[in-house]
Structure 1
Amino acid sequence: MRSPEQSYWWLRLMSVPGVGPVRYRSLLGRFGDPQKVLEAPAGELAAVDQIDRKTAASIAGQRDESWVRGQMEAMEQNAASLLTIDQPDYPELLRRTDDAPPLLFVRGDCDFNSRPPVAVVGSRLATQYGKATAELLGRELGRAGFLVVSGMARGIDSAAHRGALSAGAPTAAVLGCGVDVVYPPENRKLRDQIVSSGAAVSEYPMGEGPLAAHFPNRNRIITGMSLGVVAVEARADSGVFSSVRWAADQGREVFAVPGPISSAASSGTNRLIKHGARLVQGVNDIIEELQPLLAGPKKTDVKREAPSLGKDEEPIFELLSDQPLHVDSLAQQAERSVTEVLRALFDLEMRGVVRQLPGKRYVKL
């Protein structure tokens, strides 16, 4: 977690109007850390990809510290801390997504990378069947060593968290409000239980309320930090489909629990299964499907001969491994434009030494 002095600079850049996750990451890629960004002249800032002159002027002219100081005071009062994208404790799978938040507000002390994370999502207006199933899956996933990730909403989310807690396992709640805000209000006790052994996480600042527009963005974090997403119960028009779309874009496995054909509460999950989601009849269906993603690279006694590469392809190839890497990360590490990197990756794919995965991620073969 960041020290108060370090947090100051990360929060100050966050406070600049027009600097969202994508622009924030572009600036970090160019300057390395927020302090250097804020000390740079407007002309140098405007030369960064995604940064127009208006935004550059806003960054260079940012002098108001009142919001930042207020955030730091609220964090101290609520035992919250800042987790930034360059830190090893940041959720690794989320780090690799296109628009990962550059900083997360965290309450609790959860190691996001020690247990394989699985998201469990579903309807707020859940039936008894749905809640019982979510609690069962949360408990069994926790016992099996997984980190259950959900959104602490009414219904399925709350049941999944309770299931993990009943197994004595940590669970992560990704919020659509500040981590000091309890939403829904009746979940205060649940929130405290989550924080005591896991964590409440949000990209939204302290004191931020649960606005409707926050929740679709919140969903991308739930799916982004997870290996797979389990939809337990959803109607045909459920917000769960927002999570499913994010999961598809991020290359995550999608699972769904079937329900009675006569139940409108399960019409959405039944439709997901019809269109290719993995059928879940028990926790083993999830574990067996995700097992290959948990295994390390297979050892072999046969060493593959290194390919003969040109000067444009070789640096990109050397940055790759068996762990997926996003094209933006490659561009930053190689200090090249995304266009140049994509051209090199295409040539490497044609040689059969690199594979593209969903979500603009690449691995070495």
Structure 2
Amino acid sequence: MNPAAIARRCAISWARASVLTPQRLWPVLRERGGVEALLAMSENELADALESRERARAVFRGAEDRDADRFAEAVERSGLQILTASEEQYPPLLREIADPPFILYAAGNLDRLRLPAVAVVGSREASRYGRDVAARLARDLSSAGVTVVSGFARGVDTAAHTAARSTPGGTIAVLGCGLDVDYPRENASLKTSLAEQDLLLTEFAPGSEPRPQNFPVRNRIIAGLASGVVVVEASRRSGSLITARLAADFGRDVFAVPGSVFSDTSAGTHELLRDGAILCRGAEDVFAELFPSIGAAPVLPGRLVAPAELSAEARRLFEALEKEEPASAEELSRRLDLPAASVLAALFELEGVALVVFEEGGRFSRAR
């Protein structure tokens, strides 16, 4: 086998070996200068470096592990892709962190990994304000060609993915379980949608359940993929603060969105701001810090397209707003000959995916 094929086989084998972890192996791998040099070490030498003969033997087994080849073939037959850290398609920013995953499982559009990326994260129990801010921020970033990375959880993550999907930048969802596991269950249709034009990623093999210990592991991937992390809403115990801390450890910028001083779901973001996080009032603050060339020029998003999952009423209202001036719910009800309750439900649906905005005077307009 050629060196590239051996490196790929080893990465897949090591990812499946319970005695090996990225935290343990990467320092030695980097010190030696790569897989080929690592495999050239003696067993005693490698056992000393890894503080375990069992680990050393697992490393050497990787080069001859035909089960790893069969496993990879089965995964790829299921429609997933495997990216190893030595391959060109592996995200370069993630490769820079101290302990990148040996492999990533992927489903969808790998071109999303070639674009600049920003993570948008926050509370699972997000308020309406938090969901709206996440959706607007994600839509504005992705419309300018920046990929939005998040963790596919309820609340802020779901709002960000939904608003960014199918835009020029699109979105990457990093899961804390196998890609064949539907979690959270209510996001099953969103997951299907993202696998078509955007990207799903995970470090966890097919069949892996979403265990609590998986999510801090997932969070380092979110932080590692992005040039910066924006925390929209977070309590003092929110997992998104782990993502923010990891991003800071990786040398990435951390942004925080302010909220109400009376809201527990903003207590964590306010602590981040107190400790030096960058104030984020909108995408323009992110552009100014990370992508000044985007921030200096007008952002011209493409024509907004209504997602296929919209209800018939929401789709009709969306199309009508393209042709009409801003209007109140009552005016829209008269124009479209729809019950007021149906119009309000459709407006709520459209606002949830950042396709309409609420203006002064109780009027709604199509997002620009």
TM-score w.r.t. structure 1 length? 0.71
Shift of 1:95: 1.0
Shift of 1:249: 0.7
Question: Using the alignment, how far apart are the partners of 2:294 and 2:136 within structure 1?
Answer: 22
CA offsets per residue over residues 304-338 of structure 1, 9 Å max, x none?
xxxxxxxxxxxxxxxxxxxxxxxxxxxxxxxxxxx
**Cα offsets for 1:332-355 (capped at 9, x unmatched):** xxxxxxxxxxxxxxxxxxxxxxxx
SS of 2:162's equivalent in the other structure is helix
Q: Is contact 2:91–2:114 with CA below 8 Å preserved after alignment? A: no
- Tell me which amino acid in the other structure corresponds to 1:183: Y
Aligned equivalents of 2:122 and 2:184: distance in 1? 15
Q: Where do 5+ consecutive residues of structure 1 fail to align?
A: 296-365
Counterpart of 2:100 in structure 1 is 100
Alignment: residue pair count? 292
Corresponding residue number in structure 2 for 1:129: 129
- Give the distance between the partners of 2:286 and 2:174, measured in 1 at CA: 21
What is the Cα deviation at residue 31 of structure 1?
Answer: 7.6
Moved more, 38-47 or 178-187: 38-47
- Give 2:72's aligned residue: 72
Q: What CA distance in whole angstroms lies between the structure 1 residues aligned with 2:59 and 2:98? A: 23
2:27 is equivalent to residue 18 of structure 1? no
Return the offset for 1:108: 1.4
2:210 maps to what in 1?
A: 210
**Does the C-alpha gap of structure 1 residues 60 and 250 become closer, same or farther in structure 2, counting only changes over 3 Å?**
closer
Q: CA deviation at 1:45?
A: 3.4
Matched letter for residue 50 of structure 2: Q
Q: Return the offset for 1:33.
A: 3.6
Asked if structure 2 preserves the Cα contact closer than 8 Å seen for 1:141 and 1:148, the reply is yes
**1:141-170 deviation line (CA, Å, top 9, x unaligned):** 001110100011111001101111163542
Structure with the bigger percentage of helix: 2
Question: Structure 1 39/178 Cα, relative in aligned 2: closer, same or farther at 3 Å?
Answer: farther
Alignment correspondent of 2:43 = 42
- Mapped partners of 2:292, 2:114: distance in 1: 17
* Other structure's SS at 2:50 match: coil
- Which deviates more, 215-224 or 96-105? 96-105
Per-residue deviation, 1:74: 4.5
After TM superposition, the structure 1 = structure 2 runs for residues 281-300 of structure 1, keeping only pairs within 5 Å, are 281-291=281-291
Task: State the one-letter code of the partner of 1:22.
Answer: Q
Q: Check conservation: 1:23, 1:51, Cα contact below 8 A.
A: no
- Which residue in 1 is equivalent to 2:187? 187
1:313 is aligned to none
Q: Secondary structure at the match of 1:111?
A: helix
Aligned-pair distance for 1:65?
6.2
Q: Which runs of 5+ in 2 are unaligned?
A: 296-368
Shift of 1:50: 2.8
Whether the aligned pair in 2 keeps the contact of 1:83 and 1:103 (CA below 8 Å) is yes
Residue 265 of structure 2 corresponds to 265
In structure 2, the residue matched to 1:309 is none
Partners of 1:113 and 1:137 in 2: CA distance: 20
Per the TM alignment, residue 66 of structure 1 is displaced from its structure 2 partner at its CA by 8.9
- Seen in structure 2, the aligned counterparts of structure 1 residues 173 and 84 have a Cα distance that, compared at 3 Å, is same
Corresponding residue of 1:117 = 117
Percent of aligned pairs with the same amino acid: 39
Do 2:142 and 2:148's aligned partners in 1 also have CA atoms closer than 8 Å?
A: yes
Normalised to the residue count of structure 2, the TM-score between the two structures is: 0.71
Residue by residue over 1:15-41, the C-alpha shift from the partner in whole angstroms, topping out at 9 and shown as x without a partner, is 33321113443564448448x867976
Aligned to 1:219: 219
Contact 2:11/2:85, CA 8 A, preserved across alignment: no
Q: Which residue of 2 aligns with 1:353?
A: none
Deviating more after overlay: 220-229 vs 164-173 = 164-173
Q: Which amino acid aligns with 1:19?
A: L
Q: 1:268–1:172: structure 2 CA closer, same or farther, 3 Å change rule?
A: same
2:110 partner SS: coil
Letter in 2 for 1:233: E
Alpha-carbon distance, 1:51 to partner = 4.9
1:59 shift after superposition? 4.0
- Contact 1:172/1:199, CA 8 A, preserved across alignment: yes
The 2-side partners of 1:81 and 1:145 are apart by 24
What is the Cα deviation at residue 77 of structure 1? 4.0
**1:66-97 per-position Cα deviation (integer Å, ceiling 9, x unaligned):** 96467435413431111111222211111111
Amino acid in the other structure paired with 1:144? A
Change in 2 beyond 3 A, CA 1:40/1:277: closer
Alignment correspondent of 1:196:
196
How far is the alpha carbon of 1:52 from its aligned partner? Answer: 2.6
1:141 aligns with 2:137: no
Partner SS state of residue 211, structure 1: coil
**Higher Rg of the two aligned structures:** 2
Q: What is the aligned-residue RMSD (CA, Å)?
A: 3.0
1-structure distance, mates of 2:141, 2:110: 16
Q: Secondary structure at the match of 2:191?
A: helix
